[in-house]
Structure 1
Amino acid sequence: MARYLVTGGCGFIGGHLTHALVRAGHRVIAFDDLSSGREDNLPPEADLERGCVTDGTHLASLAGQCNGIVHLAAIASVEAAAANPRRAEAVNLGGARNAVAAAEAEKIPLVYASSAAVYGDAGSRPIAETADCTPHSVYGQHKLKGESTVLTLGPRATIIRPFNVYGPRQHPNSPYSGVIARFISACLAGETITINGEGLQSRDFIYVSDIVRLFVAALSREPAAPFTMNGCTGQAISILSLARAVADTCGTGLDLRHGPARAADILHSCGDPQRAFDLLGFRAETRLGDGLAETVGWQRPVVQ
């Protein structure tokens, strides 16, 4: 049995990861300031330590009790970053530096949650980790700079670039919620779904239990070399087709309108999953239809 530190452990992915680690018999410290995370995302067996990753001393003291760190804490909301860019930089970049310093001091592995946002517009074909990174957003820029910092750890560093993660406990009213949660909420409430532009933008959606399996596998790997890998399915769906699939899963009609296209919107984002399979034997297992059914089943009572 090991003990792990999960920053952002009360968030959507962090909560699911903490549950998985506890089920595997591990002890977990969730380090979270609850600015966007929810305490009820944690299993009762996990220890909640309230604080922010900008506090390097606090983070280091927790790392000293642990066998590894998963660094998920970040400000990913475009609106939140625009409203307080200094805060976003302090959390996203400063937090990454503090996590690296803590892992280096304790000589323990660090799994860093980067993002597919580092790629920018990836094109219509699945993109591999060797591709050039030209992030469109400040968040993507922060994550790419954070990767450079994490790689200074050498073999103990694992970087995972999740694509569009969805699933139960992704609350539709949160500024961090994904398009699937918002589409489900609109369908169940009988509201109109607004799509920016024609809806031909495509995304690679990975179910939360799958991305959690990848993080768990990364934590337990032998530290022979630093790894960077996508967390994806390798398949993309257009936003228009997604809206139709969500409505079908909800059993409702589709009330759809097209709004203006967003400036600098990414047209296509689909990852190549081969490296994660080659390095860790990981493949996403959940089909989109099955993941949507599970997500709708969880979200239906939340909306109603």
Structure 2
Amino acid sequence: MPAPELLHTPVLEWYAASRRDLPWRRPQRSPWEVLVSEVMLQQTPVVRVLPVWERWMTLWPTPSRLADASPGEAVREWGRLGYPRRALRLHAAAVAIRDLHGGRVPGDEATLRTLPGIGEYTAAAVAAFAFGARATVVDTNVRRVHARAVTGTALPAPSLTRAEVDLATSLLPEDDAEAATWNVAVMELGALVCTARAPRCPACPVADRCAWRLAGSPAHEGPPRRGQAWEGTDRQCRGRMVQLLRDADGPVAGTRLRAVWPDEGQRDRCLDALVADGLVEPLAGDRFRLPA
């Protein structure tokens, strides 16, 4: 395992020169802007998040402004980011921030984790990126960089392990501000250079000390990684129903909502799930709308 200090300087220097100019990374960004970006970026590429994030910040520049809107408006403005329950969780978190924290995003991980829908990763990311705390932030990109550069494997385990979290913590610089920058720098390295399918090793700032390259870049020995299916899935069915409600000016008749999917059993199951999740609200007369 390379000594942490042998990785810090080249990665931090690379990040200073190569980082993307993203609005939630700018010095003047608010903790709320960081929180919204972190939730939106879960399993969603930056290019899709940017326009939706900018729209949200125009409509709801503070948690209190979002809390004063309806959950349905949050779902409507979520657009096609996918996993729209994230919009409901952000709305619920905004209500908690307004009602329990004076409208200010809390700055410590423990309190952040008490907000609705905010798990360990998001709490750590907000603490680090919004408040400069020395927190352990581990996403898919970070795990892949650590797997290759430090442990010498092509890809990390299918799901996050305790050993990976401990490794990430051991690699953090001691200085709080430098640790926060290190977290985002490793993420950026994984997103732009140390990619899953076609790593750009000649462009990597630690290629000369990467354990995986020094071992001859051995192939991944675990189960094959498969992309998530979309066509014909419940996710696609649910997405069509929610999109129809987003595009509508008011409640939608059940016959029209059910017409978006041909499989009656799957369609009814998905509609029931949307209602149970709070994403769709049933009304009298077999009508439906986004939650009010």
Instruction: Give the TM-score taking structure 2 as reference length.
Output: 0.26
Looking at secondary structure, tell me which structure has more helix per residue. 2
User: Based on CA coordinates, which of the two structures has the bigger radius of gyration?
Assistant: 2
